[in-house]
Structure 1
Amino acid sequence: MDLQALIDRIRGRISAEEDRGDVATYIPGLARIDPARFGLAITLADGTQVASGDADTPFSIQSISKVFALTLALGKVGDQLWQRVGREPSGSAFNSIVQLEAEKGIPRNPFINAGAIVVADVNLGNHQPREAIGEMLRFVRFLADDDSIFIDEDIAKGEQDTGFRNMALANYMRAFGNLRHAVDLVLGVYFHQCALALSATQLAQAGRFLMLDGRLPEQGRVISPARARRINALMLTCGHYDASGDFAFRIGIPGKSGVGGGILAVVPGRASIAVWSPGLNENGNSKLGTLALQMLAEETGWSIFRAAST
């Protein structure tokens, strides 16, 4: 299969789409992004990379950062994390507060905002926010093998200035005793991790360890094979908020989206894929990024539900 020709063909089909979705407007820095941008990058198991479109343009990865934050938190506290965060799909919007009252401040999973705020609380540990933020940045740079990755301070400030619902979620969980640190400190970590800026090429590389059972051939083991499988499982069942079931139904690949328009998708043993198209659908996921991944899965047969022999 000529993978480069395939992704170029997908880019051509995406460029012809008139309905590109709507960019997120509640974060000022995201509201200014051109919805015509599109990038697609793939890193294969042997390290080969192919890319098309705006694949080298950095964008705010937003909630995709929750995958890397979860990886760090599990490294710190292991399975104790699951006493404070669930592992079930939410069936609600990513920033919903409704379930927290009924479930006594325990978020459904680490990929909705409330769950990710608890994860940020774990990663803050006994550090100052700048130290926890620096640890996250170094980790993502290590995974991508690229020290040019940065945090977009303009996006982070915009999140702090407009993140009233996240403040409400954090205060609500603090009231239930599920945050151990001051809300402003935890949210400082959370907002900055969401403001990580990566290109599709860098993001595909950063997800490679999840494709290879938690190992990077050049650097060695990052996490155990069992933990990599569990993170992939959470990406499949919870990575697209209340559209996670539809994403699994249409594409069949573990994936994590962000309101910056990016999606990281992992085909175990085969490929790490990153796509960026800033326009979002009604669920807050990249409208054309999802379509591009569906085209890719159909053309390649990359689905965890398809027999390996086919």
Structure 2
Amino acid sequence: MHDLTAIVADITEEMQAAPDRGRPADYIPALARADVSQFGMAIVTADGSVHTGGSADEPFSLQSVTKVFALTQALGRVGDQLWDRVGREPSGSAFNSIVQLESEQGIPRNPFINAGAIVVSDVNLARGAPRAALAELVNFVRYLADDDTIAVDTEVAASELETGFRNVALANYMKSFGNLRRSPEEVLDLYFGQCAIAMSCRQLAMAGRYLMAAGLNPTNGHRVVSEARARRINALMLTCGHYDASGDFAFRVGLPGKSGVGGGILAVAPGRASISVWSPGLNAQGNSQLGTLALERLATRTGWSVFARGAVADS
């Protein structure tokens, strides 16, 4: 057994002293003011114990981490039909790149790049209005985290709407190929609101437990997704969750993980733990500089990499 309390304390101390902290996402004005001195970490294990360090209870903008929960919703709505409109391959390109959409007929490479997540938002709109669809997603995350205080940061949502020109271009481009059913304006209304959901490390680690627990919600034992679907979401997180740095993250950390430009990362050790880290300073690929380093240290100390012998616990 690992002494997770001591491990988290050690990693937190190391991250708080780290000299290279990255830069915040300054192209979104509401995120540009983020304090890169902050670092938080939370681990929720399969037996329900919680281990936290640093600013683990400080809310932050989830940004692309919400794509995991939105994808879960979309798969619940349309199942494998989703893969007719979104691929399952790493992109090898920046998260907001438009380059591949031309040659691939408006079909995004995967649901975790911006173009793919915009299509997922289109699916989740179904026949409803953006506000209702966003409320449904917020309620879903609250249910997963067992916390009704989770909400959308309206300042961040407004900031995204004012500056999200690349996402507007992506939506319109996919619409031209017939890969959006609703208007780009409606889809982006949901997408920008989704990205502005704010949570703490503790809340995020709690929300990710179903991916650790083979699709079950540990709070009540209810099934969120099938075991097979949980495994496939984890596979996509491992191969596509860090954009054009996904291979490097798998090499260094070896856990399914999804990052966001708010500085958060949700990581999963299947059968063992749901993990969240946050530090708003980003590296060149738009992933948390210290969050990535902290997860690498955690995987080394615990042996939880999915590539390690005996790393995945029986579920």
Query: Which runs of structure 2 are paired with 1:135-284 in the superposition (5 Å)?
Result: 135-219=136-220, 220-284=222-286
Letter in 2 for 1:30: L
SS at 1:266 equivalent: strand
User: How far does residue 217 in structure 1 lie from its aligned partner after superposition?
Assistant: 2.9
Considering only aligned residues, what root-mean-square deviation do their CA atoms show, in Å? 0.9
Gaps of 5+ in 2: none
Aligned partners of 2:23 and 2:219: how far apart in 1? 39
Aligned partners of 1:137 and 1:108: how far apart in 2? 26
- Report what 2:289 is aligned to: 287
User: How far does residue 121 in structure 1 lie from its aligned partner after superposition?
Assistant: 0.1
Letter in 2 for 1:120: S
- Report what 1:79 is aligned to: 80
User: How far does residue 218 in structure 1 lie from its aligned partner after superposition?
Assistant: 2.8
Letter in 2 for 1:164: F
Change over 3 Å in CA distance of 1:278–1:128 after alignment to 2:
same
Letter in 1 for 2:256: P
Deviations 1:262-305 (A, max 9, x none): 00000000000000010000000000100000000000001111
Aligned partners of 2:251 and 2:12: how far apart in 1? 22
Letter in 1 for 2:310: A
Query: Which runs of structure 2 are paired with 1:75-114 in the superposition (5 Å)?
Result: 75-114=76-115
Superposition TM-score, scaled by structure 2 size: 0.97
SS at 1:216 equivalent: coil
Aligned partners of 2:311 and 2:86: how far apart in 1? 37
Aligned partners of 1:105 and 1:162: how far apart in 2? 23
User: How far does residue 17 in structure 1 lie from its aligned partner after superposition?
Assistant: 1.0
Aligned partners of 2:299 and 2:270: how far apart in 1? 13
- Report what 1:58 is aligned to: 59
Q: How many residues align?
A: 310
**Runs ≥4 in structure 1, deviation > 2 angstroms?**
none
Change over 3 Å in CA distance of 1:45–1:101 after alignment to 2:
same
Gaps of 5+ in 1: none
Please tell me whether residue 124 in structure 1 is matched to residue 119 in structure 2: no
Superposition TM-score, scaled by structure 1 size: 0.99
Identity rate, percent: 66
Letter in 2 for 1:223: V
